[in-house]
């Protein structure tokens, strides 16, 4: 019924939404409806709870009512402090993820009990050389330990700047230095936001944003980049391969284990554990045909990209996965895990298993995952799932819907694919020249990254899918990460057949290079891959990132991580389209700063448009404007 079509554009969800309704299970959509109307002060960023004299709120909609907080903070101060704190939280989440990967790399090097092994020696040695770590006649484990330690020092080093900043184009570094936003140490830059937004500290919205931008850059060019690079070293660089996606990947006759959350340290260990012959045998003893591991949210992206594990669903499908009644365990670590899951799990046999001391949920079972003995703790968790198979109740429904698509487009994979079709004598292989040529010739008009979450303020998945379709129709290559990647693969946009939806130029490129028009580049921390690809492209074309005919879009974003991403992307020079307005509109100055003033400083700026067709128009006109300036 239209009932559900107005909430999601993914048909796999409709019957499950109905099942949830019949079984009196509340989902995110029900709670969103019950929340209406949402608080106008909060929506505009005008509620301050930074001290106990408050809460204070600024009345914007009428002449009457307070225009200043009790301490005297005005709308600009309050809105910018709130935004800065959100950015700091987002940067913290990505960066703490990066830190955990660095710890895992250290364990792989020094602690055989962990079960982790360094997979990509080439990338390890190249990073070691970049960081000036001795590699001649060194044991690979010592190199790995030194790289891990050096990465960990990036979080709190007392002097200097982040090492990865050196990867940016020269002009970009100059802008950052001039604006005093060059990140120094990840923890320090985040702490500085918290300090300076404390009551009675920074009241100048522009200065607050300077501090916030530095913390965001320490995410993109710091914590996230450490997360991606060290994950590639530890678990392998993703390569293209075909996989299945959507809730139809759950299996009636196998133990279904959904791995949900973010850090591949857990999902990689779970993947090893589900292939353990003893556990498979145990599953068979319970009457199951085997163990079916499927991924959800970004940890699902990580293992899909590296190992071809099916992608079960994105942020708004987490409750529905359990509503199938077929999930024997949902194993979670950190970030984007709705506390509501434990309520839903209670209505079925599903075990919700939390694993991180950073994220416990009342009603869930907590089974601590220890990196020091990763595989052993993963086996204990998988055993819990296996033993739960026999407790399934009668009310099982798995939707038929699933689609196929190609994932695994790391920068290395993209460059490789392009190399294969170009004359290798004409240019040295392993460069972005073919990509630059396709853009310069106009066969490709440009490229857009569609990233981010789901948000009830946009019809589920429609923001991502419609925008992607409009762009590829107009010869704009789309790359995607996070929950946007799920939306695209579920809609068939990562299949070879999707070429039929492209303009002539993009269709030709896809045909020649043998790629889909929408490329899956990974999880949200992997947006650092996109930064690096843009840097390489800019350097190759002898321009700055801000000059490239590219854009970013987050049509359904909701998390603080997404705010941090948007901010570092804009500060890296990229025009960024948001489908949902951030909670800043109560401050005219801050809104103007983000959507206009930053353009003159950083080259990138925010735009807000909830209609995907309109958003596509604006993005394409921005791309064409850049092409004109470049005379291409």
Binding flag, residue 264, ligand NFS (CB under 6 A):
no
**257 and 329 Cβ atoms separated by less than 8 Å:** yes
Give the binding range for ligand NFS (CB under 6 A) out of 34-42, 438-446, 498-506, 554-562: 554-562
Contacting residue, 449, 561, 568, 604, with ligand NFS by CB under 6 A: 561
- Sign of the alpha-carbon torsion through 510, 515, 517, 521: negative
Sign of torsion over alpha carbons 30, 33, 35, 41? positive
CB nearer ligand NFS, residue 332 or residue 453? 453
559 binds ligand NFS (CB under 6 A): yes
Q: Round to whole Å and give the CA distance between 475 and 52.
A: 54
Closest CA to 479 of 453, 532, 518: 518
453 contributes a contact to ligand NFS by CB under 6 A: yes
- Per CB under 6 A, which of residues 48..67 are in contact with ligand NFS? none
E-strand stretches of 31-156: 47-48, 56-57
Q: Which stretch binds ligand NFS (CB under 6 A): 23-31, 58-66, 276-284, 555-563?
A: 555-563
In whole angstroms, how close is the CB of 466 to ligand NFS at the nearest point? 17
Q: ω into residue 37 within 30 of 0, thus cis?
A: yes
Three-state secondary-structure class, residue 304: helix
Nearest distance, CB of residue 173 and ligand NFS, angstroms: 27
How many residues touch ligand NFS under the rule CB under 6 A: the total is: 13
Pick between residue 233 and residue 332 the one whose CB is nearest to ligand NFS. Answer: 332
Kindly tell me which of 89 and 344 has the beta carbon lying closer to ligand NFS.
89
Of the pair 299, 350, the CB lying nearest ligand NFS is at: 299
Q: Does 594 bind ligand NFS (CB under 6 A)?
A: no
- Beta carbon nearer to ligand NFS, 45 or 452: 452
Least distance (Å) between residue 98 CB and ligand NFS: 12
Choices 194-202, 285-293, 558-566, 570-578; region in contact with ligand NFS by CB under 6 A: 558-566
Contact 196, 181 (CB under 8 A): no
Nearer to ligand NFS, 15 or 529 (CB): 529
Q: Edge to edge, what strands does the sheet with 329-332 contain?
A: 365-366, 351-354, 329-332, 255-260, 291-296, 311-313, 241-245, 403-407
298 binds ligand NFS (CB under 6 A): yes
Q: How many CB atoms within 10 Å of residue 425?
A: 7
Cβ(268)–Cβ(331) below 8 Å = no
User: Which residue, among 564, 624, 577, has the nearest Cα to 604 in the 3D structure?
Assistant: 577
CA distance 605 to 589: 14
- For residue 185, the 8-state DSSP code is -
Contacts of 310 (CB under 8 A, 6+ apart): 243, 244, 245, 249, 294, 295, 304, 402
Nearest CB to ligand NFS, comparing residues 183 and 295: 295
Q: Which tokens is 120 given?
A: 């990509």
Judge contact between 411 and 533, C-beta under 8 A. yes
471 vs 483 by CB, closer to ligand NFS? 483
């703790």: which residue's tokens? 377
Closest to 45 (Cα-Cα) out of 71, 64, 69: 69
Task: Give yes or no for a cis peptide into 55 (omega within 30° of 0).
Answer: yes
Least Å from the CB of residue 224 to ligand NFS? 10
Give Cβ neighbours of residue 437 (< 8 Å, ≥ 6 apart). 422
Please report whether residue 297 would count as binding ligand NFS according to CB under 6 A: yes
Q: Is 578 near ligand NFS (CB under 6 A)? A: no
Beta strand ranges found along 144-282 (DSSP E): 241-245, 255-260
Give, as ranges, the residues between 131 and 170 that touch ligand NFS (CB under 6 A): none
> 196 vs 267, which CB is nearer to ligand NFS?
267
Q: Is 579 near ligand NFS (CB under 6 A)?
A: no
Q: Cβ distance 50 to 198 under 8 Å?
A: yes
- Does residue 260 bind ligand NFS (CB under 6 A)? no
Assess 315 for contact with ligand NFS (CB under 6 A): yes
> Which of residues 133 and 217 has its CB atom nearest to ligand NFS in the complex?
217
Residues 455-484 that bind ligand NFS (CB under 6 A): 482-483
Q: Which span (19-27, 434-442, 559-567, 623-631) binds ligand NFS, by CB under 6 A? A: 559-567
Give the position of tokens 């869930």.
364
Distance CA 77, CA 233 (A): 43
490 touches ligand NFS by CB under 6 A: no
Q: Are 443 and 511 in contact (CB under 8 A)?
A: no
Q: Is 336 in the site for ligand NFS (CB under 6 A)?
A: yes
Instruction: State in angstroms the smallest separation of the CB of 554 from ligand NFS.
Output: 9
User: Of 150-158, 340-348, 557-565, 588-596, which part binds ligand NFS (CB under 6 A)?
Assistant: 557-565
- Least separation in angstroms between CB 354 and ligand NFS: 16
Closer to ligand NFS by Cβ: residue 250 or 453: 453
Q: Closer to ligand NFS by CB, 314 or 324: give it.
A: 314
Looking only at residues 493 through 552 of this chain, which bind ligand NFS when binding is defined by CB under 6 A?
A: 523-524
Please state the closest distance from residue 62 (CB atom) to ligand NFS, in A. Answer: 35
To the nearest whole angstrom, how small is the minimum distance from the Cβ of residue 482 to ligand NFS?
A: 3
What's the CA gap between 370 and 376, in Å, rounded? 9
Please say which residue, 302 or 470, places its beta carbon nearer to ligand NFS: 302
Rg (the chain; Cα; Å)? 24
Among 381, 550, 562, 569, binds ligand NFS (CB under 6 A): 562
Q: DSSP secondary-structure letter at 63?
A: S
Residues that bind ligand NFS (CB under 6 A): 297-298, 315, 336, 452-453, 482-483, 523-524, 559, 561-562
């Amino acid at each position: 019924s239209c009932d559900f079509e107005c909430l999601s554009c993914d048909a796999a969800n409709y019957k499950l939404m109905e099942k949830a309704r019949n079984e009196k299970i509340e989902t995110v959509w029900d709670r969103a409806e019950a929340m209406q109307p949402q608080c106008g002060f909060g929506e505009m960023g005008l509620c301050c709870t930074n001290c106990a004299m408050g809460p204070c709120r600024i009345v914007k909609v009428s002449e009457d009512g307070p225009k200043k907080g009790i301490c005297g903070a005005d709308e600009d101060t309050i809105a910018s402090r709130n935004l800065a704190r959100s950015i700091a939280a987002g940067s913290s989440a990505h960066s703490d993820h990066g830190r955990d990967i660095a710890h895992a790399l250290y364990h792989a090097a020094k602690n055989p009990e962990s079960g982790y092994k360094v997979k990509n020696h080439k990338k390890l040695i190249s990073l070691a050389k970049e960081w000036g770590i001795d590699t001649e006649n060194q044991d690979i484990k010592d190199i790995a330990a030194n790289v891990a330690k050096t990465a960990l020092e990036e979080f709190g080093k007392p002097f200097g700047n982040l090492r990865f900043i050196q990867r940016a184009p020269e002009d970009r570094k100059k802008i950052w230095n001039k604006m005093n936003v060059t990140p120094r140490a990840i923890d320090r830059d985040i702490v500085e936001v918290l300090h300076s937004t404390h009551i009675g500290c920074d009241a100048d919205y522009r200065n607050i944003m300077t501090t916030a931008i530095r913390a965001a850059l320490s995410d993109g060019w710091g914590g996230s980049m450490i997360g991606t690079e060290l994950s590639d070293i530890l678990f392998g660089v993703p390569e293209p391969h075909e996989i299945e996606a959507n809730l139809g990947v759950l299996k009636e006759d196998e133990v279904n284990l959904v791995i949900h959350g973010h850090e591949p340290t857990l999902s990689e260990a779970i993947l090893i554990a589900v292939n353990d012959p003893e556990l498979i045998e145990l599953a068979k003893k319970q009457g199951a045909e085997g163990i079916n591991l499927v991924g959800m949210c970004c940890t699902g992206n990580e293992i899909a990209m590296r190992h071809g594990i099916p992608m079960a669903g994105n942020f708004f499908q987490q409750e529905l996965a359990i509503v199938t009644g077929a999930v024997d365990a949902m194993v979670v670590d950190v970030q984007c895990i709705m506390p509501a899951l434990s309520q839903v799990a209670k209505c079925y046999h599903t075990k919700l298993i939390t694993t991180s001391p950073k994220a416990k949920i009342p009603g869930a079972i907590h089974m601590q995952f220890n990196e020091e003995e990763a595989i052993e703790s993963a086996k204990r968790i998988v055993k819990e799932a296996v033993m739960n198979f026999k407790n399934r109740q009668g009310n099982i429904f798995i939707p038929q819907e699933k689609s196929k698509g190609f994932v695994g487009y790391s920068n290395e994979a993209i460059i490789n694919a392009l190399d294969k079709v170009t004359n290798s004598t004409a240019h040295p292989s392993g460069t972005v020249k073919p990509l630059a040529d396709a853009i310069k010739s106009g066969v490709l008009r440009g490229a857009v990254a569609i990233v981010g979450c789901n948000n009830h303020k946009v019809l589920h998945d429609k923001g991502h899918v419609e925008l992607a379709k409009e762009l590829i129709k107009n010869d704009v290559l789309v790359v995607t990460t996070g929950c946007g990647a799920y939306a695209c693969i579920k809609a068939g946009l990562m299949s070879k057949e999707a070429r039929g939806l492209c303009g002539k130029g993009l269709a030709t490129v896809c045909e020649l290079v043998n790629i889909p028009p929408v490329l899956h580049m990974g999880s949200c921390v992997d947006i650092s891959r996109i930064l690096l690809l843009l840097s390489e492209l800019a350097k190759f074309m002898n321009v700055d990132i801000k000059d490239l005919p590219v854009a970013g879009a987050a049509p359904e974003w909701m998390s603080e991580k997404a705010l941090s991403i948007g901010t570092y992307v804009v500060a890296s020079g990229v025009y960024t389209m948001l489908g949902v307005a951030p909670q800043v509109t109560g401050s005219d100055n801050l809104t103007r700063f983000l959507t206009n003033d930053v353009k003159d400083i950083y080259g990138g700026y925010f735009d807000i448009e909830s209609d995907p067709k309109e958003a596509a128009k604006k993005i394409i006109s921005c791309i064409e404007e850049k092409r004109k300036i470049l005379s291409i």
